[in-house]
Chains A and B, each alone.
Chain A
Amino acid sequence: MTTNPSYAPERETSEGKVFTVTGGDWDTVVNGTDPVSDERIIVNMGPQHPSTHGVLRLILELEGETVREMRSVVGYLHTGIEKSIEYRNWTQGTTFVTRMDYLSPIFNETAYSLAVEKLLGIEDQITERASTIRVLMMELNRISSHLVWLATTGMELGAISIMLYGFREREYILEIFEMITGLRMNMAYVRPGGVAQDVPDSAVKKIQEFLVMMPKRLKEYEDLLSGQPIWTERTQGVAVLDVTACVALGVTGPVLRSAGLPWDLRKTEPYCGYENYEFDVPTSNDADVWGRYQVRLAEIRESLKLVEQALDKLRPGPIMVADKKIAWPAQLALGVDGLGNSLEHVAKIMGQSMESLIHHFKLVTEGFRVPPGQVYVAIEGPRGELGAHAVSDGGTRPYRVHFREPSFVNLQALPAMAEGGLIADVIAGGASLDPVMGGCDR
């Protein structure tokens, strides 16, 4: 019989062996632990979580309800768009980039198209009507994107009604998009050289109705949220990020403007003729979620002004560059099943002109060539600076296209906002950055 101090003592009885078990070990274990120091727990939030704005994973180190450390993990929606583009021609590139940030497809297309046009050296040839339509579509898109922000942020902070209203109004804009482009999302509407399709009169009428309706609806949102104590408690003084932190972390867009810096590329580096429009850059000095809410609502109002001005500026004219070596998608028409070559164009190339057929075939299968070089074009997306870095080797396909996605860059600021705050405010802070994971991961 062995005696091991680690085991319970035993003795022989007439009924067999009897072990005497004591709780001494557990007393030592419990006494040896400091109940205060070891309270940190790690919580994995996401990637499937209703409040993380998509497939975003947050790793939180919590002390009670306080976030001590936080790291975000991205990449769950990586689809290799930047790689795939390199195997298509320059025009086909728009159909890829439009799928990155799915809440602002027009911005992706415009940034890409502006970059390709700069590489081609045809910025001056872009027609006024094409630029005006781009502005019109971008500003409508900005409103729809901000509405989704309002809707989802409201939902994440417990305001379900605003979620329904936000999506309802966005639906109206998507119907306008469908009227103009044939598609509600991922339209590939803005193409290098212009836009794919002219704006029909029915859409202009619908936009005018929208311009009458939307200010009233905005007033309703503000009545619903601004004075509401839960909304103000959840947003004011939450997830503060000042200008220094924003610039250091590369945060642009409404978040930067909510910290007080009126940095808006539409004003500072105008493109698409934004210098000819009258609008203000709303800012706030709160630098918190409340400030971002105010800035975004004000931006919707400014966008409405821009849409109205763009409608006024809409003069008849071509929507594509005159250069037929580039302007392939100029003959598109909206059919029952979406965009396609117009029947007139098909009749011409199939029945009348062999040269046109050859030309069409070459442009569609090969595409146009872009002189070698690299450019970086940045536009003001709904989430901040959306930059397109395009490199050409002189061929018919992009050599490399990289997108500086504001969702990706801005998301780095989340730990700075969240650490030291409450876990509930992680949701508010993350939502206030308005990340779209499709854009972040590309």
Chain B
Amino acid sequence: MVTTSPDKDPVTDAQAPSAKPGGGVPVQATPVGATTGAPAELPPSSVAGRGMFGISGSGDTSGFGGLVRRRVGAGGSERPYGGYFDEVYDALEEAFPGLDDAIEKVVVDRGELTLHVKAERILDVARTMRDEESLRFELCSSVSGVDYLGSDERRLHVTYHLTSMTYRRRVRLEVAVGTEHPHVPSVAPVYPTADWQERETYDMFGIIFDGHPGLTRILMPDDWEGYPQRKDYPLGGVPVEYKGAEIPPPDRRRSYQ
């Protein structure tokens, strides 16, 4: 179910041997053991879901072998998307001229449709999604960020979960920006509920939402430095002693990938 041929695994190829799982020790063993019963279409950059406890290419499962966090990435999906996804995309295409310029890729995974939108077009797309009769995504359920550190220069993603109460559909919009210029137009003019959620995303990831009515920190103190949910922001913590042994803080403990 998972393609293991090297030519279809560009990420692992591009990495230096020492950055590979298992310290890059080449072992010609067919992965056996745990399968998680996952959907068959895994993104090509991943080697998860095979091998004993996910380890492949090495017998080292101790966690000490220079294991690295794998990249999250997913290729775009092709038509037909299935379910109501085609209908949604067609309706959006009809109502939004030049959609192909605005959409970077479409991903259908685990029964969810994700439209990757260019950051500068997100407000227009959101407005069409809300106003168009055949789309009617009235409710913006959730706005939040994800930091895909190490993926590419546009590592900061913002996800918008839209809900159509009329048609009982859900769609995720996603935009990606870099840390150098983390600017995304605010969707608060279209969805007032995004106000606080964008403030939280700014607070946690440092993504600046242009046109937001009052973009300030919301959960952290006003004078806080740094953006805590970014992956390069440390968790912090102090070691604690328990029955004579010293337990390191969670981010310094042995890390299994």
Contact = CB atoms under 8 A, between A and B. Distances in A.
Contacts of B134: none
B125 to A, nearest CB: 18
Interface in B39-78: 39, 42-43, 45-49, 53-54, 61, 63, 69-74
Interface residues of A, number: 62
B36 A370 contact: yes
Interface stretch (B96-104, B164-172, B176-184, B239-247): B164-172
A409 B193 contact: yes
B48 A121 contact: no
Contacts of B217: 75
Nearest to B218: A75
A391 B146 contact: yes
Interface stretch (A37-45, A46-54, A102-110, A399-407): A399-407
A340 B47 CA distance: 34
A87 B249 CA distance: 10
A409 B200 CA distance: 11
Contacts of B128: none
B139 interface: yes
Given A78-B220, A88-B250, A395 B191 contact: no
Contacts of B89: none
Contacts of B142: 376, 387, 389, 402, 404
Contact of A393 (B36, B70, B139): B70
A431 interface: no
Contacts of A402: 142, 144-146
A184 interface: no
Contact of A394 (B46, B141, B200): B46
Given A250-B191, A325-B36, A376 B72 contact: no
B132 interface: no
Nearest to B147: A400
A92 B109 CA distance: 25
Contacts of A376: 112, 141-142, 159, 161, 170, 172
A84 B250 contact: yes
B256 interface: yes
B38 interface: yes
Contacts, number: 175
A230 to B, nearest CB: 33
Contacts of A122: 36-37
Contact of B36 (A74, A369, A387, A411): A369
Given A88-B250, A248-B193, A323-B37, A375 B141 contact: no
Interface residues of B, number: 63
B170 A371 contact: no
Interface in A228-268: 247-252, 261, 263, 268
Contacts of B45: 372
Contact of A121 (B38, B140, B192, B251): B38
A396 B51 CA distance: 14
Given A74-B219, A247-B139, A366 B53 contact: yes
A393 B45 CA distance: 10
A368 B53 CA distance: 7
B186 to A, nearest CB: 14
Q: Which of A87, A323, A402, A441 has the most CB of B within 10 A?
A: A402
Given A248-B192, A250-B139, A396-B257, A121 B110 contact: yes
A418 B69 CA distance: 48
B228 interface: yes
Interface string B95-119: 0000000000000011010100000
A168 interface: no
B81 interface: no
Given A391-B146, A400-B147, A369 B49 contact: yes
Contacts of A62: none
Given A389-B142, A394-B48, A408-B196, A87 B250 contact: yes
B150 to A, nearest CB: 10
A87 B251 contact: yes
Contact of A412 (B165, B196, B229): B196
B22 to A, nearest CB: 14
Nearest to A371: B38
B32 interface: no
A326 interface: yes
Interface in A201-249: 247-249
B85 to A, nearest CB: 15
A269 interface: yes
B110 A118 contact: yes
Interface in A341-381: 362, 365-376, 378
Contacts of A374: 109, 112, 114, 146, 159, 172
A391 B72 contact: yes
Contacts of A393: 69-72
B210 interface: no
Contacts of A268: 165, 168
A269 B221 CA distance: 37
Q: Which of B63, B197, B217 has the most CB of A within 10 A?
A: B197
The 9 A-B pairs of least Cβ separation, nearest first, read A250-B193, A394-B48, A404-B142, A371-B38, A402-B144, A87-B250, A75-B219, A78-B219, A369-B54
Given A366-B53, A393-B69, A404-B141, 20 more contacts: A84-B250, A88-B250, A249-B193, A251-B193, A268-B168, A326-B36, A366-B63, A367-B256, A368-B34, A369-B48, A369-B54, A375-B110, A376-B142, A378-B163, A385-B141, A394-B48, A394-B72, A402-B142, A402-B146, A404-B142
Interface of B: 34-39, 42-43, 45-49, 53-54, 61, 63, 69-74, 109-110, 112, 114, 138-142, 144-147, 159, 161, 163, 165, 168, 170, 172, 191-193, 195-197, 200, 204, 217-221, 228-229, 235, 250-251, 256-257
25 contacts: A83-B229, A83-B235, A121-B37, A122-B37, A250-B140, A269-B168, A368-B34, A370-B36, A372-B72, A373-B72, A373-B110, A374-B146, A376-B141, A376-B170, A378-B170, A387-B141, A393-B71, A394-B47, A394-B48, A395-B256, A399-B72, A402-B145, A409-B196, A412-B192, A412-B195
